[in-house]
Structure 1
Amino acid sequence: MSGPAAPGPARRGPLGRFRALPLRSRLALLVATAVALAVAAVSVACWFVVRGKLYDEVDNRLQSNRQTLNLRAGAIAAALRSCPSEAAPQTEFAPPRDYYYQLVRAGDGGPCVISGDSMGTLRVTGEDREVARRADPKFQSLHNATDTEGDPVRVLTVPVVLDQGPDGGIGVGVVQGTALSIGAPLKETERTLGDLALLLLLVSGIGVVGAGATGLWVARAGLSPVDRLTGAVEHVARTEDLSVRIPVEGDDEIARLSRSFNSMTAALASSRDLQQQLIADAGHELRTPLTSLRTNIELLARSEETGRAIPPEDRRALLASVKAQMTELAALIGDLQELSRPQGAAPGRQVQVVALHEIAEGALERARLRGPELDFAADLSPWYVRGEQAALERALVNVLDNAVKFSPPGGRVEVRLRDGELTVRDHGPGIPAEELPHVFERFWRSPSARSLPGSGLGLSIVARTVQQAGGEVVLTGADGGGTRVAIRLPGAPTPPPATTGR
């Protein structure tokens, strides 16, 4: 059985459709949504505030009418005597014509109209009957209701309190089971609230439309630097022109992005120039040994083809030259491979804690074989560093090879290791001060040393290896003549304790 089909574009959810929009559209939509929510919140809050104020005003008028009616105990007593008659009692009390006045009985819940001049009869609610049942002077109810015609009314229901006094014969106290309801029509109030809601809705709509237009303008203005950056990136991808630079304005995030792009293109241009220079220099350096090797091999081949034997001494010299050129070619290829590998440890090489003094002793043994006529003075103290053993050994061999190469016969080479600083000093001709800034450049060779074997990559490999190990290398002229190379590597005089995993 086949599994469920993957959701396609037609089944993409709202979030997926939003993410599929262009960035400018998303930004404009977000701005419009935020403004719409803010306008809606303000409009709703405004409507409720106005509604509360209008209702407070109505409630205050109802409380004022209640106080007036309490002074007319006779009207209330007359209404009580006429209940349950449907006809309104005739009393000397004439309440305002724009209000409702009626009594509510707890027993059957029926209303009794106090005066025929009132506006009509209110529909009795459970809240009205509860006030009548409790007969508590401190208990009252303010709520919305309707009259018998269905019109909205604001109703205040309070217990009936008669306080006419002994002369009137009515008595003092609360009438059990009866409540007084006073109602104020809400037609004008509801109409005002409706007009306000319509006005707020219209203002909100205008605000949302304006927010959408503003969002589009903000998105267009805010993303114009991004458009320029996108155009520059597309131009670089299309033409490989790394000379493109974006004008930087201000100090915001877009300016930082523009500066980063300019730095990136500058670094790429420099890297490409260095790569082209490396290829050109490597071709130039490879051409010399290959030309010499080809010439010697052609001489040997011509001797075999013509049958003219080369004198034994000359033949041995040719073969020695071929071997030397092949050795030089192999060393140059190895140096190029070392410089072409990425920064950091190469695959198959392990960064670990190694004894720098032992590596220096091994490099010294090789240097003594290459310069048996020289005097080597070594003073090596224990020092442990973290790095690649093979790379560090190659770097120290390159430094000592230079010391051997430029030392005069019978000269002295001094090697010293103290507190993480390894110094190699020879007593050769030294390097002029104006040439010192170039000694670590690839394929750079001093004019006085171009007749000597070498590719000009040794010190470049030394500098790279030392930097990868977290150290630094400095080459200066030595007092009294010669050259002094100082390599400083972070480490410790004792190896760190071995750690074992559980």
Structure 2
Amino acid sequence: MTSLVHRLRTLPLRSRLALLVASAVAVAVAVAAVACWLLTRNQLESELDTSLQNSSAPPDAVRDALNNCGGANGSDNRASFAYIQVVLTDGTRCVTSYSEPVRVQPQDVAVARGTEDNALHNSTTDSDAKVRVFTQRLSVRPGVQAAVTVSRPLAEIDSSLNQLALLLAAVTGVGILGAGAAGLWIARAGLRPVDGLTRAVEHVARTEDLTVRIPVEGEDEVARLSRSFNSMTAALASSRDRQSQLIADAGHELRTPLTSLRTNIELLARSEETGRAIPPDDRKALMASVKAQMTELASLIGDLQELSRPDAADPGPLEIVGLHTTMTNALERARLRGPDLTIEADLNPWYVRAEPAALERALVNVLDNAVKFSPSGGAIEVALSRGGELTVRDHGPGIP
């Protein structure tokens, strides 16, 4: 049993579905065939019983049977539509000259003795042919009781039932084969969308092409699976785009402090190589610039690490944050990125409910754009009004 279950599990899904459909139809057809055969048998037997109960032995046949008591049982064994014989109280049978003898049963004797009014039962002839027997009381003469039996062969019913069984078996076999073919066709048709989904997944795995989309038809489980696949590939494509944008932004943001840091370090190295001392004030300013650029670089790396976290897109807890304080921190970073710019700020206290880190990144991005598009030696004005209106103004070319 375990090996059979294991073999079934190793079959392809469409084969299992076809086998399941064929098995279900086979059971249904087999049950229907057996029920049909049983109903037909009961109907034929009921009709035979009714026919026997409505018939009576002809008086001539009864006299012929009584005349044969003690003589030969039957004369020519010719086939007959009905067998008639008289059964005495001691079980002796008196057979008509044209009937085949039927074996006496206890029910026949009981009717002959008067303990039963009539009896309906099965028996056999002396040649072992099955018959259906109906027994009634018979008054031979005053004070002498007997029973008369009318028997009908069951060969015709058995032959009809055998032919019906062969027909039902053939129909069942054809039905099972047809169900198997239909089940295989249904499985193929039903799994066609799954095959398309499988090909799409294999294509994505082979080419890493996340632009593949599966047509969605209907509202069934396969349609839901297709929608989920399309949503998944769209999310992966968006994630890849964000990663690419993050790398591009990281390269852009890191380029400025790294360039400035390299320039300052090269000046210090050239001074050491040539032996030409840098004036103390210039050297002090140079070292301050190096320190500021290193601080800016560390801050950028921290921001990139924060953005690269898997849960970076999930909003953090909201807090009451001083907008003026957060803007002050963002202004310090902006001054490091634009040392030749004049940045003026007029900030009034204002508090908002926000995520601190996300709020500071947003303000830094706004100031970065102002620094990026401001002309050399230009000015940037930042104002936070008493009503909480924040304004960042630069003097760049603007958006064409």
- Report the TM range for the smaller structure's normalisation: 0.7 to 0.9
Q: Which residue of 2 aligns with 1:448?
A: 370
CA distance in 2, matches of 1:126, 1:331: 112
Compute the displacement of 1:170 (Å).
4.0
After superposition, residues 241-280 of structure 1 pair within 5 angstroms as 241-280=209-248
Describe the shift of the 1:144–1:303 C-alpha distance in structure 2 as closer, same or farther (beyond 3 A): farther
Moved more, 284-293 or 254-263: 254-263
CA distance in 1, matches of 2:324, 2:147: 112
Compute the displacement of 1:58 (Å).
0.7
* Alignment of 1:98 onto 2:20: no
Q: Which residue of 1 aligns with 2:348?
A: 412
Q: Give 3-state SS (helix, strand or coil) of 2:277's partner.
A: coil
Q: Give 3-state SS (helix, strand or coil) of 1:243's partner.
A: coil
* Alignment of 1:30 onto 2:12: no
Q: Which residue of 1 aligns with 2:46?
A: 56
After superposition, residues 276-295 of structure 1 pair within 5 angstroms as 276-295=244-263
Q: Give 3-state SS (helix, strand or coil) of 1:13's partner.
A: helix
Q: Give 3-state SS (helix, strand or coil) of 1:222's partner.
A: helix
Compute the displacement of 1:301 (Å).
2.5
8 A contact 1:101–1:181 mirrored in 2: yes
* Alignment of 1:148 onto 2:126: yes
Q: Structure 2 length as normaliser, TM-score?
A: 0.75
CA distance in 2, matches of 1:442, 1:232: 42
- Report the count of equivalent residues: 363
Structure 2 alignment gaps of length 5 or more: 332-342, 356-360, 375-383, 392-400
Describe the shift of the 1:404–1:323 C-alpha distance in structure 2 as closer, same or farther (beyond 3 A): closer
Amino acid paired to 1:279 = I
Kindly provide the CA deviation profile for residues 225-247 of structure 1, in whole angstroms up to 9, marking residues without a partner as x.
22222111111111111111222
After superposition, residues 159-238 of structure 1 pair within 5 angstroms as 160=137, 162=139, 169-170=142-143, 181-238=149-206
Compute the displacement of 1:203 (Å).
1.6
Q: Which residue of 1 aligns with 2:326?
A: 401
Compute the displacement of 1:180 (Å).
5.2
Compute the displacement of 1:128 (Å).
5.4
* Alignment of 1:330 onto 2:298: yes
* Alignment of 1:483 onto 2:390: yes
CA RMSD between the two structures? 4.1
Amino acid paired to 2:225 = L
Amino acid paired to 1:483 = L
CA distance in 2, matches of 1:257, 1:130: 76
Q: Give 3-state SS (helix, strand or coil) of 1:154's partner.
A: strand
Compute the displacement of 1:20 (Å).
0.9
- Out of 95, 99, 121, the residue aligned to residue 101 of structure 2 is 121
Amino acid paired to 2:171 = V
CA distance in 2, matches of 1:479, 1:183: 119
CA distance in 2, matches of 1:190, 1:447: 100
Amino acid paired to 1:144 = N
After superposition, residues 422-461 of structure 1 pair within 5 angstroms as 422=353, 447-450=369-372
CA distance in 1, matches of 2:113, 2:306: 102
Q: Give 3-state SS (helix, strand or coil) of 1:303's partner.
A: helix
Moved more, 249-258 or 321-330: 249-258
Q: Give 3-state SS (helix, strand or coil) of 2:350's partner.
A: strand
Q: Which residue of 1 aligns with 2:397?
A: none
Compute the displacement of 1:275 (Å).
0.9
Compute the displacement of 1:277 (Å).
0.8
* Alignment of 1:13 onto 2:3: yes
Amino acid paired to 1:152 = K
Amino acid paired to 2:5 = L
Q: Structure 1 length as normaliser, TM-score?
A: 0.61
- Identity, in percent, stands at 52
8 A contact 1:98–1:185 mirrored in 2: yes
CA distance in 2, matches of 1:441, 1:42: 79
Q: Give 3-state SS (helix, strand or coil) of 1:413's partner.
A: coil
Compute the displacement of 1:186 (Å).
0.9
Compute the displacement of 1:281 (Å).
0.7
Q: Give 3-state SS (helix, strand or coil) of 1:123's partner.
A: coil
Q: Which residue of 2 aligns with 1:384?
A: none
Q: Which residue of 2 aligns with 1:466?
A: none
Amino acid paired to 1:251 = E
* Alignment of 1:44 onto 2:28: no
8 A contact 1:281–1:443 mirrored in 2: no
CA distance in 2, matches of 1:74, 1:186: 21
Amino acid paired to 1:54 = L
CA distance in 1, matches of 2:364, 2:159: 89
8 A contact 1:289–1:328 mirrored in 2: yes
Structure 1 alignment gaps of length 5 or more: 1-10, 90-95, 347-386, 417-421, 425-438, 453-476, 485-502
CA distance in 2, matches of 1:201, 1:441: 84
Describe the shift of the 1:479–1:143 C-alpha distance in structure 2 as closer, same or farther (beyond 3 A): farther
CA distance in 1, matches of 2:363, 2:180: 59
Describe the shift of the 1:304–1:442 C-alpha distance in structure 2 as closer, same or farther (beyond 3 A): closer
Kindly provide the CA deviation profile for residues 267-315 of structure 1, in whole angstroms up to 9, marking residues without a partner as x.
2111111111111111211122122222222222222333322222222
Kindly provide the CA deviation profile for residues 452-498 of structure 1, in whole angstroms up to 9, marking residues without a partner as x.
9xxxxxxxxxxxxxxxxxxxxxxxx97857239xxxxxxxxxxxxxx
Describe the shift of the 1:88–1:214 C-alpha distance in structure 2 as closer, same or farther (beyond 3 A): closer
Q: Which residue of 2 aligns with 1:309?
A: 277
Describe the shift of the 1:184–1:440 C-alpha distance in structure 2 as closer, same or farther (beyond 3 A): farther
Describe the shift of the 1:236–1:196 C-alpha distance in structure 2 as closer, same or farther (beyond 3 A): same
Q: Which residue of 2 aligns with 1:363?
A: none
After superposition, residues 353-368 of structure 1 pair within 5 angstroms as none
Moved more, 127-136 or 281-290: 127-136
CA distance in 1, matches of 2:12, 2:363: 48
